[in-house]
Amino acid sequence: MLWPLMLLTIVSTDATTKVAPSPNILIAISDDQSYPHTSAYGSKMVHTPSFDRVARAGVLFTRAFAPSPGCSPSRAALLTGRFPWQLESAGTHASDFPAKYATFPSQLEAAGYSIGFTGKGWGPGNWRISGRKQNPAGPEFNRRKLAVDSQANGAADDDYPENFADFLKGRPKGQPFCFWFGAHEPHRPFVSGAGVKSGKQLKIAEVPPFLPDCPEVRKDLLDYALEIESFDQQLGRMLDQLKELGELDNTIVIVTSDNGMSFPRAKANCYEFGIHVPLAIQWPTRVPGGRVVDDLASFVDLTATILEAAGITAVSDATKPVAAPGRSLLPLLTSGGSGVLEPNRQFVYSARERHSSARFENAGYPQRAIRSRDYLYVRNFEPDRWPAGDPQELLRNGSLGPMHAAYYDIDRSPSLAFLVNHREDPATKMYFQGAVAKRPTEEFFDIRNDSACLTNLVNSPAHAGPFAEHRLALERFLKETGDPRVGPRGSVFETYPRFSPIRSFPKPK
C-alpha cells in the first residue's frame, strides 16, 4: 500500500514545533544534449546562464549518465527508477508503457502533489494503449504557443514558461508540485545556418574527435548550440517565475538531458557522447551550493532522490521489487561533500535496444554498457547487424534504394550527409566507418585518454585487468537485475510493437 504523504514534515519536536513544507520539484530535460555542452562545463560554443545559475546555487555533476542513449527508454527509466531492460516494451523505442510500472509523478500525485508537464513527456510511444489515463509524466500543459516568426532558430513553438504559469495558477493554494519541463530542443531538425546567423563564428565550434573538422560540421554544431541556448532561456524564465512567487528556495530543480547529441556516433550509441549527460541540481533550503561533484550518478538515482525528498519510501506496483535500484542523492546533496552517495560505487549502466525503424523486420541493435570513473565497456549482442541501421532500404515500389541512403539510427543532418558524400575521401573515411561500420562483440575504452571512444582496448595487454573486471561486473549486474539479454529470452525485445512508421529493408544475406 502506498501511504499518503503528509504535506508538512515535522522537523522539530519542542514546544514550538516547526514544520517544513514538502519540496516542490521542477525537472528540466533537454532533448539530445551531450555532457560537455554547457558553459558551466567550460564550453565556449554555447552560453547557458540558466543551467549555470542552477549549478552555482546547487551541485554540478561531472559524471552523470543516462540509462539509454535514446529518449523513450531513457525517460521511462527516469520515470520508474528501473533500468530499460527491466521495463519490457517501455525499455525500447516507440512502443508502449505497461501500466503496471509505477512512475514517480503518479506516486507524488497519490501523495498530495499537483503534477504536470509541458513540451515532451514520455515518448515517442503509445501510452494510451497500455490503459494509462495520462502521459506517464503527468497531465499535459501545452496550450500556449509562440508566434511562428519567433522560431527562426528552429526551436519548437511551445511557450514552455507560459504553460508552466498556467499549471502554477491552476494548482490548489499551498499544494506542493512536481512539474516536468521536457523541451523539444536541441532535437533535430535544426534550421540550417541559424547558429552563424545569430552571430556565432565557425571557429568557436567544438568538434569532437569522432567527427571531421570541416565547415559543414562546424556549422551544424553551432545550430545545435543555438537550440541548447533556446532551452536554457526558457528554463531561466521558469526559475524567475518561481522566484517571484517566493517558491524557488524550496524547489528541487533538476536540469539534465535524456541522452546525447544527435550526431553520428553519439545519440543511439552507448559511447560517451551518447550516454554522458549534463546534470545540475539545486534546493537552496537544504543543499549547499557552489559545489562540483565527481561521483558516478544515473537517472535511477534521480528517481530515488525525488521519492525520498517527498517522503515516499516504497514503490507500489504489480511487479516484483526492483533489483539493485538507484540510490538517493540526498545524502550527497545535503552533506556539502562528495563520495557520500555510495562510497563503494564503482559503476553505472546503460542500454539500448531498438531505436528507429532501421533494419530488416524492425530489428534493433542491442547494447549494454558499464561505465566506471575511468573506463567504458560496451557489449554488442548482435555484431552482425549494422549499428546505425541497414545501409539500403526498400522503396515503396519494391525497388532497392541507393547504397548508404538509409542508416536511420542516425538523425538526418548535414553532418551525416557530409560523411556519406565524402565516404571515400581519405580524410573522411575513418569518420564514416566509425559511425556506420559493423562493430565487434566487445569494446573497451580508456575515457581518461579517449572520451571519443575511438581506440578499442579489448586486446591491449596493458588493460587486460580492468577489461576483465568490467566485463565480469556487467554480466553479473545484468543477471542480478533480470536482463533477458543474458538469459534465454533475449529476443523478446524484438517482439514488442512499434507505434510509428515502419520501413522496409532487404533480408540480410
What's the CATH code of the domain at 205? 3.40.720.10
92-128 pLDDT tens trace: 999 999 999 999 999 999 999 999 999 999 999 999 9
Do 282 and 48 contact (CB within 8 A), yes or no? no
Nearest to 50 by CA among 197, 230, 222: 230
In this structure, the strands spanning 59-65 and 276-282 are antiparallel
385 plus 305 within the same structural domain: no
362 plus 458 within the same structural domain: yes
* 8 is a domain residue: no
Alpha carbon separation from 165 to 24, 28, 170, 428 (Å, rounded): 15, 15, 9, 48
pLDDT at 20 over 70: no
Q: What cell numbers appear for 478 in the block?
A: 545484468
* 83 is a domain residue: yes
Nearest to 255 by CA among 76, 33, 80: 33
Peptide bond into 124 cis (omega under 30): yes
* 377 is a domain residue: yes
pLDDT confidence tier of residue 509, bands split at 50, 70 and 90: confident
Q: For the chain, how many residues are written?
A: 509
126: helix, coil or strand?
Answer: strand
Among 55-64, 144-153, 251-260, the least confident range: 144-153
180 plus 326 within the same structural domain: yes
* 471 is a domain residue: yes
pLDDT at 342 over 70: no
403-441 pLDDT tens trace: 999 999 999 999 999 999 999 999 999 999 999 999 999
Domain boundary among 343, 375, 393: 343
pLDDT confidence tier of residue 155, bands split at 50, 70 and 90: confident
pLDDT confidence tier of residue 10, bands split at 50, 70 and 90: very low
* 503 is a domain residue: no
pLDDT confidence tier of residue 12, bands split at 50, 70 and 90: very low
CA atoms within 13 A on the CB side of 431: 25
pLDDT at 312 over 60: yes
pLDDT confidence tier of residue 156, bands split at 50, 70 and 90: confident
Predicted local confidence at residue 323, as pLDDT: 59
Among 5-19, 32-46, 106-120, the least confident range: 5-19
Nearest to 250 by CA among 21, 33, 465: 21
Q: What DSSP designation does 65 have? A: E
Q: Which one has a higher pLDDT value, 18 or 394?
A: 394
**Residue 469 Rama label (left phi>0; alpha psi -120 to 50; beta):** alpha
Q: Which residues contact 341 (CB under 8 A, 6 or more apart)?
A: 295, 297, 301, 327, 329, 331, 332
* 378 is a domain residue: yes
Do 443 and 377 contact (CB within 8 A), yes or no? yes
455-473 pLDDT tens trace: 999 999 999 999 999 999 9
pLDDT confidence tier of residue 324, bands split at 50, 70 and 90: low
Domain boundary among 299, 316, 343: 343
Distance CA 343, CA 60 (A): 19
3-class SS letters over 370-406: EECCCEEEEEECCCCCCCCCCCCCECCCCCECCCCCC
348-368 pLDDT tens trace: 999 999 999 999 999 999 999
Residues of the chain with pLDDT > 90, as a percent, come to 87
In this structure, the strands spanning 348-352 and 367-371 are antiparallel
435 plus 463 within the same structural domain: yes
169 plus 247 within the same structural domain: yes
337 plus 358 within the same structural domain: no
358 plus 338 within the same structural domain: no
* 504 is a domain residue: no
Distance CA 59, CA 465 (A): 33
Distance CA 120, CA 123 (A): 7
Do 92 and 72 contact (CB within 8 A), yes or no? yes
Q: What cell numbers appear for 359 in the block?
A: 533494419
Domain boundary among 297, 323, 343: 343
Neighbours of 131 (CB within 10 A): 11
Predicted local confidence at residue 154, as pLDDT: 65
Q: Domains in the chain: how many in total?
A: 2
65 plus 156 within the same structural domain: yes
pLDDT at 313 over 90: no
Distance CA 493, CA 352 (A): 10
Among 277-286, 295-304, 311-320, 325-334, the least confident range: 311-320
Q: 309-339 burial, b if ≥16 CB within 10 A, otherwise e? A: bbbbeebebeeeebeebbbbbbebbeeeeee
pLDDT at 16 over 50: no
Q: What is the mean pLDDT of the chain?
A: 92
Alpha carbon separation from 224 to 33, 47, 348 (Å, rounded): 9, 12, 27
43 plus 183 within the same structural domain: yes
Among 8-22, 87-101, 120-134, 478-492, the least confident range: 8-22
CA atoms within 13 A on the CB side of 157: 7
Residue 377 Cα to chain centre, angstroms: 19
230-262 pLDDT tens trace: 999 999 999 999 999 999 999 999 999 999 999
Residue span of the structural domain in which 355 resides: 350-495
Residues of the chain with pLDDT > 70, as a percent, come to 91
Do 89 and 497 contact (CB within 8 A), yes or no? yes
Segment (H or E) for 420: helix 414-421
361 plus 434 within the same structural domain: yes
At residue 431, φ and ψ (nearest 5 deg) are -70, -40
- Residue reference for cell 521495463: 87
The CA radius of gyration of the chain, in Å to the nearest whole number, is: 22
175 plus 80 within the same structural domain: yes
Predicted local confidence at residue 17, as pLDDT: 39
Predicted local confidence at residue 371, as pLDDT: 98
* 1 is a domain residue: no
334: helix, coil or strand?
Answer: helix
Predicted local confidence at residue 337, as pLDDT: 61
361 plus 432 within the same structural domain: yes
Predicted local confidence at residue 322, as pLDDT: 63
pLDDT confidence tier of residue 4, bands split at 50, 70 and 90: very low
pLDDT confidence tier of residue 3, bands split at 50, 70 and 90: very low
Handedness of CA 79, 83, 86, 91 (dihedral sign): positive
3-class SS letters over 143-194: CCECCHHHCCCCCCCECHHHHHHHHHHHCCCCCCEEEEEECCCCCCCCCCCH
